[in-house]
Amino acid sequence: MNNQTSEATQLFIGLMSGTSVDAVDAVLVEFDGTQPNTIAHIESDIPPALRRDILTLSTPGDDHVDLLGHTDHAIGELFAATAQQLLAKSGIRPEQITAIGSHGQTVRHRPPEAVEAHPFTLQIGDPNIIAQRTGITTVADFRRRDMAAGGHGAPLAPALHNSLFRHPQRNRAVVNLGGIANITWLPAGEDAIGYDTGPANMVMDDWCQLQLQQPYDENGQWAASGKVQLELLKRFMAHPYLQRPTPKSTGREDFNLTWLQRTLTELGGDLPAQDVQATLLEFTARTVADAIKNCGTVNEVFLCGGGAFNGQLTARLEAMLHPAQVATTAVLGIDPKQVECVAFAWMAKRTLEKLPGNLPAVTGAESDVVLGGVYFS
């Protein structure tokens, strides 16, 4: 590869689509040593028909092997086009990029549990297509090697949080509020821990789409117009996932519209839709805050992911976590919308350097492992 950057400075692209299935994020990152510097970022909308196919594959049910193959190809094409748009925006040539780190799109996550004899996780978005279309070496399939080592393959971003966001004297928590919420606990002078706490935006977005035909509740305004229903919240808080010991991870398999509607049916009555949204938001805030407080005394909490821009959600977290200081990762130098993309660019760099990208204390893996497969340009 004719890389135009210096030996000490390398350019990587991070690509991902999260469990909310709302867009493909792409970030161009310059690494000077291990420190990332974001050069450009874009989002590409996922076409409605493709989003429907992804959600179909993400919902347990009948076999969809043909749909899986078609969707894997379509997501690969979309990711490749997004990377090309990012290059056009930034004025960077493909030969200047060391590699793309592509998370892909998760369509099923079955982590190790007593009932899961053969745990697996599946992210699609064919990296062969990405490498072929862009002419850039692509690193993908990051989660399955950790799972092969006995881990959950998730969450993976805490490895980046641990590398970049630690403080020598202050206990910090980093909270990713994507489709699923996960925390990284960074106690001063001690090892990091982290896990998925439950849903963040995913079910709220699905309920908003169902009731208002809007993709999300902007700034939590709809939730703010409702009233938290305590009996419904109690039923949410009784979800078996919350009682599982760490390490643990979750996804649409546990928290989805079917689960929500079943819970509403069991409760009986006809709750106002905005009250359901308010209760879902309270559920997210409560599970995140409880998880952080169970870790110990926290001094600072930093939010990232789309939920960091939900004013109602962040206000509830601030109230629950007082007197800890709550801010976004922008304070630490990375836009909260870009943290996960940066993480997969960083993991691609680690993979090419044959360095581990997981944190066994977080995922439950038996050892540090090099993550992902490499698809050369």
Distances (CA, A) of 101 to 33, 77, 224, 314, 344: 17, 15, 38, 30, 5
Write down the pLDDT at residue 7.
53
d(CA 116, CA 152): 12
* One-letter identity of residue 353: E
Of the pLDDT bands very low, low, confident and very high (cuts 50, 70, 90), residue 1 is very low
* One-letter identity of residue 332: L
Q: What share of the chain is helix, strand, coil (3-state, %, to 5)?
A: 45, 20, 35
Residue 286: half-sphere exposure toward Cβ, Cα within 13 Å = 14
CA angle 3, 145, 105 (to 5 degrees): 75
In this prediction, residues 355-370 reach a mean pLDDT of 97
Write down the pLDDT at residue 2.
37
pLDDT tens digits along 342-358? 999 999 999 999 999 99
d(CA 132, CA 88): 17
Q: Which of 65-69, 142-146, 211-215, 325-329 has the lowest mean pLDDT?
A: 65-69
Domains of the chain, with CATH numbers? 9-153+339-375 (3.30.420.40), 158-332 (3.30.420.40)
% of the chain with per-residue pLDDT over 90? 91
Write down the pLDDT at residue 114.
57
Tokens matching residue 39: 């050069």
d(CA 74, CA 64): 15
Q: Which of 25-39, 273-287, 289-303 has the lowest mean pLDDT?
A: 25-39
φ, ψ of residue 292 to 5 degrees: the values are -65, -45
Please give the sequence-ordered ranges of beta strands (E in DSSP) within 51-117, or none if there are none: 99-110
Please tell me the pTM assigned to this model.
0.90
Whether the ω angle into residue 323 lies within 30 degrees of 0, i.e. cis, is yes
SS3 186: strand
In this prediction, residues 79-93 reach a mean pLDDT of 98
pLDDT tops 90 at residue 8: no
In this prediction, residues 200-227 reach a mean pLDDT of 97
Of the pLDDT bands very low, low, confident and very high (cuts 50, 70, 90), residue 269 is confident
Residue linked to tokens 């210096």: 6
pLDDT tops 70 at residue 184: yes
Write down the pLDDT at residue 66.
86
